[in-house]
Amino acid sequence: MRLGLTQSLRAEQRLVQSPQMIQAMQVLQMPLIELKDQIEQELQENVFLERQEEGERGESQHDEQAPVIEDRLQREFSAEIDQLEARLEPNWRQRANGIAGDDEDKKLEALYNTPGKPTSLAEHLMTQVRTQEADEELIPVVEHIVYSLDEHGRFQDTAEQIAARLLVPLPLADEAIAVVRDLEPIGVGARDLRDCLLMQLDHLAFVRPLTRLLVDRYLDDLALNKLPKIAKETGATIEEIKASWEFVRTHCNPHPGAEFDGGTSTPVVPDVLIEEHDGQFVVKTQRGSLPDLSISPVYRNLLHEAKNDPKVYEYLRRKIEAAKWFIEAVHQRQSTIERVAKEIVSRQEGFLRHGVQHLKPMKMQDIADAVHVHISTVSRTVSGKYIQTPQGIFDMKRFFSSGTMSDAGDMVSQQAVKDTLKQIVDAEDKDAPLSDDQLVEELGKRGVHIARRTVTKYRKALGIESSTRRRHF
């Protein structure tokens, strides 16, 4: 065998994604709210991009403001060139001060009206501790416990484990646990759900003995709706058990720390709006508060003037190209979303007129073939996007599902089957709820034949309990 270094040629085809292609795919996948944030970031990072104001300004006004704008942009550009040449030198020249007056007032107003960071459960508890406790040795132990609580506000470690971990006396660890369990909201520091509910019942003025007994011994049976078994063992009537359980559900919170989770709900902003005009559905892409972008004409002039300086010219050219690519990516996103939405609407007219029962099975590959794009492009287009229809606002992904053949020979989508299943359960006799086998029979009467295990899967996906747990006593 011959050993050594050799050279050889090999021809191959390989798809190489340019930075511009990657950026275009990222912009396409962004929901409307995220795209707005990305545009604001690009406006901050690339001074070649500017926001087009609404309305056209007169030539005289433009001529009056041009020297001021050009002077400001020249100062900003000079500062950027200095930064580029100094390569982040510590003492590089700072930019000139920004425009004062009304703009400054608007910035301050926006700052003052920005909501503050939500208070976490740990911060809320430690605020109470620092105002109530003066023992300097106790506070660090309490802080350790507080920041070890899980998302439900519960704590699993024992006093022995805390003492060993923090190298503190066991009585100090016991005292710290007691301090946490006495903080507001009542129920934090509990070991489990049972402990949490009992802590809250102990702080109420009057609690029936049966109520406390149910929480102490029969939580699992209550979850399984085994009311006759509980009645037999306790000697109480089912009505008394239901009243006591309702008292617990009304006066106790199984997740006392939920309001301090620090999470914020994300508003849903539809990217596509569907309206009916003269019996026809019209697709409109929503821009929301997205600004119209353009490239600053002042910088175009600078590019022309800098041709004699290769270094400056190359810097300006790259910045302008980046701005052009971003503007093109945003426009391409809107165009792709509109094309995909129009194809979806053309295939789902029955749903738009009559609701989920008329939703047709549809695959992403079908849409990709129709609009002549790759299936991954369709996936990115509908990811995180919402569409406003006459039937309500829906996630665009909801329109894609497989189907089941009905007795009429038509394909029925999974969403339609699930909606039918939910209607059957909602209309059932709660004193004698339908089993999964009976649900299969009811669906069969409506022309949909699926297996029992499929009914069970759909029922669980819809969050519907089993017939045993749905039964009312």
Q: What is the pLDDT of residues 318-372, one digit of tens each?
A: 887 888 888 888 888 888 999 999 999 888 888 888 887 778 888 888 899 998 8
**What pLDDT is attached to residue 64?**
42
The span from the first CA to the last CA of the chain, in angstroms, equals 85
Using CB atoms within 10 Å of the CB of residue 67, give its burial: 0 to 12 exposed, 13 to 18 middle, 19+ buried.
Answer: exposed
**What pLDDT is attached to residue 98?**
42
- Rounded Cα–Cα distance for residues 468 and 226 (Å): 8
Q: Which 8-state DSSP code applies to residue 253?
A: -
DSSP helix/strand/coil, 401: strand
**What pLDDT is attached to residue 266?**
58
Tell me the C-alpha to C-alpha distance, in Å, between residue 102 and each of 73, 107, 248.
Answer: 19, 9, 56
Using CB atoms within 10 Å of the CB of residue 324, give its burial: 0 to 12 exposed, 13 to 18 middle, 19+ buried.
Answer: middle
Q: Does residue 404 carry a pLDDT above 50?
A: yes
Angle, CA of 424, 448 and 360, to the nearest 5°: 100
- Rounded Cα–Cα distance for residues 354 and 83 (Å): 61
Taking only the tens place, the pLDDT of each residue in 103-132 is: 545 544 544 454 455 677 888 888 888 877
386, containing H or E segment: strand 386-389
Q: Does residue 439 carry a pLDDT above 50?
A: yes
Closest C-alpha among 447, 360, 365 to residue 402: 360
8 Å CB contact between 272 and 387: yes
Q: Does residue 408 carry a pLDDT above 80?
A: no
Q: Does residue 300 carry a pLDDT above 70?
A: no
Binned at pLDDT 50, 70 and 90, residue 405 comes out as low
Q: Which 8-state DSSP code applies to residue 188?
A: T
Q: Which amino acid is at 466?
A: S
Q: Percent of the chain scored above 70 by pLDDT?
A: 77
Q: Can you read off the two tokens belonging to residue 189?
A: 């520091």
**What pLDDT is attached to residue 12?**
67
Q: Which residues of 266-299 are buried (b: 16+ CB within 10 A; e: fewer)?
A: eeebbbbebeeeeeebebebbeeeebebebbebb
314: CB partners within 8 A, 6+ apart: none
- What sections of 158-218 are H helices per DSSP? 159-166, 170-181, 193-202, 209-217
Residue with tokens 């912009």: 27
Taking only the tens place, the pLDDT of each residue in 75-104 is: 544 454 444 444 434 443 343 344 444 554
192, HSE (Cβ side, Cα atoms, 13 Å): 5
Binned at pLDDT 50, 70 and 90, residue 287 comes out as low
- Rounded Cα–Cα distance for residues 66 and 358 (Å): 58
Count Cβ atoms below 10 Å from residue 75 Cβ, excluding itself: 13
Q: Can you read off the two tokens belonging to residue 84?
A: 């580029």
Binned at pLDDT 50, 70 and 90, residue 289 comes out as low
Beta strand 272-277 pairing with 280-285: antiparallel
Q: Can you read off the two tokens belonging to residue 378?
A: 């369709």
**What pLDDT is attached to residue 58?**
42
- Rounded Cα–Cα distance for residues 46 and 323 (Å): 7
- Rounded Cα–Cα distance for residues 1 and 404 (Å): 62
**What pLDDT is attached to residue 276?**
86
Homologous superfamily (CATH) for 404-470? Homeodomain-like (1.10.10.60)
pTM metric for this prediction? 0.54
Q: Is the dihedral of CA 189, 190, 193, 198 positive or negative?
A: negative
Q: List the chain domain ranges.
A: 121-260, 404-470
